[in-house]
A = this chain, B = another copy of it.
Amino acid sequence: MVDEAPARQLFCARTGDREVDAAAAAARRVVDALVRAGECDPGTAERLDEIADAIEKHAGSVVARIAAMWTGGFPRHDPVTGPENPIAPPLVLEAREGTTVGGEVTLGMAYQGPPGCVHGGVSALLLDHTLGVANGRAGQVGFTGELTVRYHRPAPLFEPLTVSARQVGVDGRKIRTEGSITTADGTVCVSARGLFITPQDR
Protein backbone atom coordinates (compact mmCIF):
# COMPACT_ATOMS: atom_id res chain seq x y z
CA MET A 1 0.00 0.00 0.00
CA VAL A 2 1.31 3.37 -1.00
CA ASP A 3 0.73 6.40 1.20
CA GLU A 4 -0.68 9.28 -0.73
CA ALA A 5 0.22 12.82 0.22
CA PRO A 6 -2.86 14.72 1.41
CA ALA A 7 -4.20 17.22 -1.15
CA ARG A 8 -2.76 20.67 -0.57
CA GLN A 9 -5.26 23.46 -0.05
CA LEU A 10 -3.59 26.47 -1.64
CA PHE A 11 -4.22 30.03 -0.46
CA CYS A 12 -2.77 31.66 -3.55
CA ALA A 13 -3.02 31.31 -7.32
CA ARG A 14 -1.52 28.11 -8.68
CA THR A 15 1.27 28.34 -11.27
CA GLY A 16 -0.29 26.80 -14.35
CA ASP A 17 0.68 25.87 -17.88
CA ARG A 18 -0.04 29.34 -19.25
CA GLU A 19 2.62 31.00 -21.39
CA VAL A 20 2.60 34.04 -19.08
CA ASP A 21 3.45 31.88 -16.04
CA ALA A 22 6.36 30.30 -17.93
CA ALA A 23 7.51 33.74 -19.11
CA ALA A 24 7.35 35.11 -15.55
CA ALA A 25 9.42 32.14 -14.35
CA ALA A 26 11.98 32.78 -17.08
CA ALA A 27 12.01 36.51 -16.26
CA ARG A 28 12.81 35.56 -12.63
CA ARG A 29 15.86 33.72 -14.02
CA VAL A 30 16.89 36.88 -15.90
CA VAL A 31 16.51 38.97 -12.73
CA ASP A 32 18.53 36.50 -10.68
CA ALA A 33 21.24 36.15 -13.34
CA LEU A 34 21.69 39.93 -13.68
CA VAL A 35 22.12 40.37 -9.92
CA ARG A 36 24.40 37.32 -9.63
CA ALA A 37 26.60 38.26 -12.59
CA GLY A 38 26.60 42.05 -12.33
CA GLU A 39 27.45 42.14 -16.03
CA CYS A 40 26.17 40.83 -19.34
CA ASP A 41 26.89 40.74 -23.07
CA PRO A 42 26.39 43.84 -25.22
CA GLY A 43 22.95 43.72 -26.81
CA THR A 44 21.24 42.15 -23.79
CA ALA A 45 19.21 45.28 -23.10
CA GLU A 46 18.06 45.48 -26.74
CA ARG A 47 16.92 41.85 -26.70
CA LEU A 48 14.97 42.41 -23.47
CA ASP A 49 13.46 45.63 -24.85
CA GLU A 50 12.23 43.73 -27.94
CA ILE A 51 10.55 41.16 -25.70
CA ALA A 52 8.97 43.94 -23.62
CA ASP A 53 7.70 45.61 -26.81
CA ALA A 54 6.08 42.33 -27.92
CA ILE A 55 4.42 41.70 -24.54
CA GLU A 56 3.15 45.28 -24.33
CA LYS A 57 1.14 44.67 -27.52
CA HIS A 58 -1.05 42.34 -25.44
CA ALA A 59 -1.75 45.00 -22.79
CA GLY A 60 -5.12 46.72 -22.84
CA SER A 61 -6.10 49.69 -20.72
CA VAL A 62 -4.89 49.84 -17.14
CA VAL A 63 -8.47 50.28 -15.89
CA ALA A 64 -9.69 47.16 -17.71
CA ARG A 65 -6.70 45.14 -16.52
CA ILE A 66 -7.18 46.17 -12.89
CA ALA A 67 -10.85 45.24 -13.11
CA ALA A 68 -9.96 41.84 -14.60
CA MET A 69 -7.46 41.15 -11.82
CA TRP A 70 -10.22 40.85 -9.22
CA THR A 71 -12.82 38.77 -10.98
CA GLY A 72 -12.62 35.95 -8.46
CA GLY A 73 -10.14 33.50 -7.07
CA PHE A 74 -6.74 34.43 -5.80
CA PRO A 75 -4.89 37.22 -7.63
CA ARG A 76 -2.32 36.05 -10.18
CA HIS A 77 -0.28 39.25 -10.28
CA ASP A 78 0.73 40.26 -6.72
CA PRO A 79 4.43 40.76 -5.85
CA VAL A 80 4.55 37.94 -3.28
CA THR A 81 2.59 34.94 -4.57
CA GLY A 82 1.65 35.97 -8.11
CA PRO A 83 2.66 33.42 -10.78
CA GLU A 84 2.43 36.21 -13.41
CA ASN A 85 4.68 38.61 -11.48
CA PRO A 86 8.45 38.07 -11.82
CA ILE A 87 9.03 40.14 -8.67
CA ALA A 88 7.20 37.46 -6.64
CA PRO A 89 9.59 34.64 -5.58
CA PRO A 90 6.74 33.27 -5.76
CA LEU A 91 5.73 32.21 -2.27
CA VAL A 92 3.18 29.37 -2.40
CA LEU A 93 0.83 29.63 0.58
CA GLU A 94 -1.27 26.71 1.73
CA ALA A 95 -3.47 25.69 4.64
CA ARG A 96 -1.53 24.60 7.70
CA GLU A 97 -2.67 23.48 11.15
CA GLY A 98 -5.70 25.26 12.59
CA THR A 99 -6.26 28.48 10.68
CA THR A 100 -2.57 29.03 9.88
CA VAL A 101 -1.45 29.64 6.31
CA GLY A 102 2.17 29.09 5.37
CA GLY A 103 4.65 28.15 2.74
CA GLU A 104 8.32 27.46 2.08
CA VAL A 105 10.42 29.77 -0.06
CA THR A 106 14.10 29.94 -0.95
CA LEU A 107 15.29 33.42 -1.85
CA GLY A 108 18.17 34.26 -4.15
CA MET A 109 20.47 37.21 -4.49
CA ALA A 110 17.88 39.62 -5.89
CA TYR A 111 16.29 39.68 -2.41
CA GLN A 112 19.53 40.38 -0.55
CA GLY A 113 19.99 42.96 2.21
CA PRO A 114 23.05 42.28 4.42
CA PRO A 115 25.63 39.99 2.80
CA GLY A 116 24.08 36.56 2.22
CA CYS A 117 20.87 37.51 4.04
CA VAL A 118 17.34 38.47 3.13
CA HIS A 119 16.67 42.22 2.92
CA GLY A 120 14.70 43.26 6.02
CA GLY A 121 12.16 45.01 3.83
CA VAL A 122 11.64 41.85 1.77
CA SER A 123 10.86 39.96 5.00
CA ALA A 124 8.33 42.70 5.81
CA LEU A 125 6.81 42.34 2.32
CA LEU A 126 6.41 38.56 2.65
CA LEU A 127 4.93 38.85 6.15
CA ASP A 128 2.54 41.68 5.31
CA HIS A 129 1.11 39.63 2.47
CA THR A 130 0.92 36.38 4.45
CA LEU A 131 -0.87 38.07 7.36
CA GLY A 132 -3.48 39.35 4.90
CA VAL A 133 -3.96 35.87 3.43
CA ALA A 134 -4.32 34.44 6.96
CA ASN A 135 -7.18 36.90 7.53
CA GLY A 136 -8.78 35.61 4.35
CA ARG A 137 -8.59 32.03 5.60
CA ALA A 138 -10.02 33.02 9.00
CA GLY A 139 -12.96 34.66 7.28
CA GLN A 140 -12.60 38.29 8.34
CA VAL A 141 -10.34 40.57 6.31
CA GLY A 142 -9.40 44.23 6.55
CA PHE A 143 -7.02 46.92 5.48
CA THR A 144 -3.65 46.97 7.21
CA GLY A 145 -3.63 49.65 9.90
CA GLU A 146 -0.26 48.90 11.46
CA LEU A 147 2.41 46.29 10.86
CA THR A 148 5.20 45.71 13.38
CA VAL A 149 8.12 43.57 12.26
CA ARG A 150 10.75 42.30 14.71
CA TYR A 151 14.11 41.13 13.45
CA HIS A 152 15.48 38.42 15.75
CA ARG A 153 18.36 37.23 13.53
CA PRO A 154 19.26 37.55 9.87
CA ALA A 155 17.21 35.31 7.56
CA PRO A 156 19.57 33.45 5.23
CA LEU A 157 19.38 33.44 1.43
CA PHE A 158 19.71 30.15 -0.50
CA GLU A 159 17.95 27.91 2.03
CA PRO A 160 14.29 27.07 2.62
CA LEU A 161 12.45 29.51 4.87
CA THR A 162 8.94 29.00 6.19
CA VAL A 163 6.64 32.03 6.11
CA SER A 164 3.44 31.54 8.10
CA ALA A 165 0.69 33.54 9.77
CA ARG A 166 -2.59 33.18 11.60
CA GLN A 167 -5.32 35.44 12.89
CA VAL A 168 -5.11 35.67 16.69
CA GLY A 169 -8.03 37.90 17.60
CA VAL A 170 -11.00 39.89 16.37
CA ASP A 171 -12.53 42.76 18.35
CA GLY A 172 -15.33 44.33 16.32
CA ARG A 173 -13.66 45.78 13.23
CA LYS A 174 -10.15 45.31 14.65
CA ILE A 175 -8.27 42.20 13.61
CA ARG A 176 -4.96 41.03 15.11
CA THR A 177 -2.79 38.68 13.11
CA GLU A 178 0.69 37.30 13.72
CA GLY A 179 3.30 35.63 11.58
CA SER A 180 6.92 34.61 11.34
CA ILE A 181 9.76 33.60 9.07
CA THR A 182 11.68 30.57 10.32
CA THR A 183 14.52 28.41 9.08
CA ALA A 184 14.08 24.67 8.50
CA ASP A 185 15.04 23.86 12.11
CA GLY A 186 12.32 26.18 13.44
CA THR A 187 14.55 29.10 14.40
CA VAL A 188 12.57 32.34 14.22
CA CYS A 189 14.37 34.96 12.14
CA VAL A 190 11.61 37.54 11.79
CA SER A 191 8.22 37.89 13.46
CA ALA A 192 5.37 40.27 12.71
CA ARG A 193 2.09 41.35 14.18
CA GLY A 194 -0.49 43.28 12.30
CA LEU A 195 -3.55 45.33 13.17
CA PHE A 196 -6.12 45.24 10.41
CA ILE A 197 -9.35 47.23 10.19
CA THR A 198 -12.47 45.83 8.52
CA PRO A 199 -14.28 48.47 6.42
CA GLN A 200 -17.58 49.62 7.95
CA ASP A 201 -19.66 48.38 5.04
CA ARG A 202 -18.68 44.74 5.49
Q: Is A38 an interface residue when CB atoms closer than 8 A count as contact?
A: yes
Complex formed: what's the CA distance from A123 to B183 in Å?
25
Whether the pair B45, A112 counts as a contact (CB closer than 8 A) is no
A146, B144: Cβ atoms closer than 8 Å: no
Collect the chain B residues with CB atoms within 8 Å of residue A27's CB. 27, 30-31, 34, 48
Residues of B within 8 A of A68 (CB): 38
A3-11, A15-23, A92-100, A166-174: which lies at the interface:
A15-23
- Contacts A79-B110, A79-B111, A144-B151 given; does A55 touch B44 at CB 8 Å: yes
Whether A35 touches B149, Cβ cut-off 8 Å, given contacts A52-B29, A110-B87, A119-B125, is no
Chain A facing B: main interface SS: helix
Cβ of A24 under 8 Å from chain B: yes
Given the known inter-chain contacts A39-B58, A56-B36, please indicate yes or no for A87 contacting B84, CB distance below 8 A.
no
Complex Cα distance, B37 from A158, in Å, reads: 31
In the complex, A86 has a CB within 8 A of chain B:
yes
CB A121 to nearest CB in B, in angstroms, measures 3
Whether the pair B149, A124 counts as a contact (CB closer than 8 A) is yes
> Pick the contact of A78 from B58, B112, B132, B145 — CB < 8 Å?
B112
A159 to B187, CA, bound (A): 40
Which residues of A are interface residues toward B (Cβ below 8 A)?
18-20, 22-27, 29-42, 44-49, 51-52, 54-60, 62, 65-66, 68-70, 76-80, 82, 84-87, 109-116, 119-122, 124-129, 132, 143-151, 154, 158
* Supplied contacts A23-B48, A38-B77, A66-B115, 6 more A-B pairs, CB within 8 Å: A19-B45, A37-B59, A40-B58, A87-B110, A146-B150, A149-B149
